[in-house]
Structures are given as C-alpha cells and as structure tokens.
Amino acid sequence: MNGNFSSVQEDPNVLAERMSRIEPSGIRRIFELMTTMDDPINLSIGQPHFDPPEALIEAACRAIRAGKNRYTVTQGLPALNQRLLFDVARRFGRRPDSCLITAGVSGGLVLSFLALLDPGDEILLPDPGFMMYRNLAAVVGAVPRFYSTYPRTPGGRFQIDALEIEAKITDRTRVLFLNSPSNPTGAVLSLDEIKVACEIANRRGLVVISDEIYDSFVYDSEFHSPVSHAEQCVQLGGFSKTYGVPGWRMGYATGPQKILDAMKTLQQFSFVCAPAPFQHALLEAAFDVDMGPHIVDYQRRRDLITAQLHPRYALRPPEGSFYAFPQLPKGQKGADFLQHAIDKNLLIVPGNAFSARDTHFRLSFAADDATLARGITALNQLAIELP
Ligand code: PMP
C-alpha cells in the first residue's frame, strides 16, 4: 500500500457490469437544474403538493414517542397486512393470498423484479412509462419489450393494444407490467382493457405486475385493478401519493403466496422491513382519513390546465394521476423545448425521459394555484413564440 487511493477511483473496472446498463434519472438532472434557478415555476414534480393529514402526523409522532422505533417483522405489522388485504378484497372482490409491507412502491418494484426475472427473461413494459421500470429490468439483466400506449388516432386516448401485447410475447416473456393511472400519461385502464390484458397474461402464463400507486387519483371513472382478473397478479400499492408522505417510504405488495414469500425472503436480506413508526401511524390513522377533498381539488386543477392549455397544445384531459402529457409544439424536440421552458423559468419533463419517442412532455399539476397559473401563462407564451 503506498497510500495513493486515486488509482483505485480511476480503475475503469471498479463498477459492476450492470452499472453500464443504467444511467442517472433525467428527472434528477432537472431537480439539479432547479437549484440554479431563481423562484422556478416547477411543474416537474412527482409528488403531491399537499401536507399529510394532521391525524397521520400526530400518529407518527405518537408512534416514535411510544418507542415503536425497532424493526418490525419483515412482512410488516400483521394487523396492517390484514387491513390491506381486507381493503383489497372489499374493493376488487378477490382476497390475494398474501401481503408484504414494502419500502415504498419502489421497494416492491425492486423485490418483484428480483423475485420474478432471471437474466435474459423478458418483461413487457408500457411505453411511455415510469423510468424505474426499464432501469430495474436492466439491473436484473432482464430484457424490456415495450408495448405502445400512444394514441392510435390524433386526439385519441392513451390506451393499450391487445394485439401488440400478444405479438410481443416470446418464450422468454415472464411478466406483463401494467400501470394505471399512468405516470406519465395520466391514462386510467378501462375495465375492458384490464380484462383483455389479463386474459392474454393468463393464457400465456405470465405474471401481471400492477403498479397502482396513483389509484386514489382517478377523476372520471372507477378504478379497476387486475387483482380480480389476473391468475397471478403482484399488486403494488402505495401511500406516498395518496397521503402526501413520499418521504415515509411506505408501500405494500399483495399477490400469490409463492411470489410474496420470495419477495419477503429478499426483503429479509435487503430492506429488512418498512419504517416501523410509519407502519404504526398508517395502521392507526390512514384508514379513517378522508382524502376526498384533495382528490376533488386535483380534479379541479386537471380541468383548469386542460381548459387553459387547449387549443394551443394537443392535450386530452388526463383520466387520473396528477400528470398531463401534451404533445410538444410542432417541430420541437424535447431537449430544446425544455431549454425554452427554462428560459421562461419553467420546469417540465421532456417525454423522452419516459420513452424512445420524443413527441410529448410531462406536466405535473401537483402545484399550488399561483404556480399553476404562472406555468400555464409561460406555456401559452411559448406556444405563441416558438416558430
Ligand atoms: N410508481 C410510479 C408510477 C411512480 O410515479 C412512483 C413515484 N414517482 C413510484 C412508483 C415510487 O413511489 P414510492 O416508492 O414513493 O412509493
């Protein structure tokens, strides 16, 4: 040892090969950009702008003071598991075998991908889709096959195409991934779409992983889940968005015993358990709070941005989540449009952060009224000014 550590840092082989398959999130880069801007109009945010309900905050403080600071069992508090299974059965008419409390839906994604996908296995992912899916697939060595949800006709809704999904299935396909309401499009899968997708998965022996983190943000229709239609469904549910607690890192997974047992074993050797005080707080307080007024408020924001950006932008009202995914103005590339937006102090996320296509951009309406109004003004000015 000569005490010179710089040679170690510069060793090109220091990182595992899998790290060459992923790169830092484009959204993180936008976060970094924001820190250099003065009072930015930030419509790039992926979390609710409201504070958690007072009852939840109180319950969390009580849990910490009452000494609920040790590990829980890996599976999570049995009463919380039971309560979630009861709710899933009540909502969708089918009680999954098992429930695991996870460190956010992110934790559930990591565990389910590790449990279900070997190197070379294929996973069907929505395009556009949340970037964590394809990056996690890359980490475990799986091959993502993208099925398009882009509108088939100008002005149409984002939707799935059963024929395309069926055509992309090979001998190596293991998982059909669904995300409704969608990040980034805001589309909500109809009952028909879910039935058709699950019928394919059942017939071809695929596991459905269903990311339902935005399930309470649904505006025009009822929320439907593959839980009651797929023979093998890993349902990933969350608390981050519903209750405004993304920093608590709380989520849950439900599904078939064998898969959930495997995810639990993996959790033993990784996350250990989800944060204990927040498990207690959610069990005590979450199921009695009414988040309805926030959802009504988000629907109002949805209506506002849709009405005020139309007709300058091609945009259908998003059916759920708190994102809109309008088309880029004609001839614009996402990166250039982002730069023009930044020149107006506005942050949005180019659609190619979620897709191989560079035709849309994501706008979050999880922002206060004043910020939304400034954002809408800036976007409409851009639409007029751009060539
Ligand atoms: N899935 C989707 C579609 C998301 O948008 C997010 C957060 N942006 C997550 C999962 C992860 O959420 P969390 O880990 O906070 O539960």
Phi then psi dihedrals of residue 75, to 5 deg: -65, -20
Say what the pLDDT of residue 3 is: 53
- Domain boundary among the residues 234, 258, 288 is at 288
Residue closest by Cα to atom 5 of ligand 1: 183
Q: How confident is residue 44, by pLDDT bands cut at 50, 70 and 90? A: very high
> Is 132 in the same domain as 194?
yes
> Is 296 in the same domain as 224?
no
Q: How confident is residue 218, by pLDDT bands cut at 50, 70 and 90? A: very high
Say what the pLDDT of residue 245 is: 98
- Domain boundary among the residues 251, 269, 288 is at 288
> Is 26 in the same domain as 61?
no
Question: Is the minimum distance from the CB of 211 to ligand 1 under 6 angstroms?
Answer: yes
CA distance 75 to 50: 29
358 is in which domain, residue-wise? Answer: 20-51+291-385
Question: Is the minimum distance from the CB of 313 to ligand 1 under 6 angstroms?
Answer: no
Question: Is the minimum distance from the CB of 321 to ligand 1 under 6 angstroms?
Answer: no
Say what the pLDDT of residue 36 is: 82
Measured CA distances, 160 to 127, 180, 225 (Å): 10, 11, 15
Q: How confident is residue 37, by pLDDT bands cut at 50, 70 and 90? A: confident
Give the range among 99-103, 190-194, 310-314 with minimum mean pLDDT: 310-314
In 224-275, which ranges are continuous DSSP H helix? 257-268
Q: How confident is residue 67, by pLDDT bands cut at 50, 70 and 90? A: very high
- Domain boundary among the residues 247, 263, 288 is at 288
Question: Helix 131-139 to helix 104-116 angle, to the nearest 10 degrees?
Answer: 40
> Is 71 in the same domain as 135?
yes
pLDDT-above-90 percentage for the chain: 90
Does residue 263 lie within any of the structural domains?
yes
> Is 37 in the same domain as 24?
yes
4 pLDDT exceeds 60? no
Task: Give the DSSP letter string of 142-205.
Answer: -EEEEEE-S-SSTTPPP---HHHHHHH--TTEEEEEEESS-TTT-----HHHHHHHHHHHHHHT
Does residue 9 lie within any of the structural domains?
no
Does residue 88 lie within any of the structural domains?
yes
Residue 44: CATH number of its domain:
3.90.1150.10
Say what the pLDDT of residue 154 is: 85
Look at residues 325, 356, 352 and name the one whose alpha carbon lies nearest to residue 336.
352
Q: Note the pLDDT tens digit of each residue in 227-271.
A: 999 999 999 999 999 999 999 999 999 999 999 999 999 999 999
Average pLDDT for the chain:
95
> Is 180 in the same domain as 314?
no
> Is 274 in the same domain as 141?
yes
Is the pTM here over 0.75, yes or no? yes
Does residue 8 lie within any of the structural domains?
no
> Is 34 in the same domain as 179?
no
Q: Note the pLDDT tens digit of each residue in 265-309.
A: 999 999 999 999 999 999 999 999 999 999 999 999 999 999 999
**Dihedral of the CA atoms 315, 216, 25, 17 (nearest 10)?**
-130
> Is 159 in the same domain as 206?
yes
313 pLDDT exceeds 50? yes
CA of 9 to the centre of ligand 1 (A): 33
CA of 246 to the centre of ligand 1 (A): 8
Structural domain total, the chain? 2
Phi then psi dihedrals of residue 171, to 5 deg: -60, -25
Question: Is the minimum distance from the CB of 180 to ligand 1 under 6 angstroms?
Answer: no
Contacts 24+ apart (CB under 8 A), 198-203: 198/226, 198/229, 198/230, 198/231, 198/233, 199/229, 200/162, 200/165, 200/166, 200/169, 200/176, 201/176, 201/226, 201/230, 201/231, 201/232, 202/230, 202/231
1 pLDDT exceeds 60? no
Residue 201: CATH number of its domain:
3.40.640.10
Say what the pLDDT of residue 5 is: 58
- Which ligand 1 atom sits nearest the alpha carbon of residue 129? 3
> Is 130 in the same domain as 269?
yes
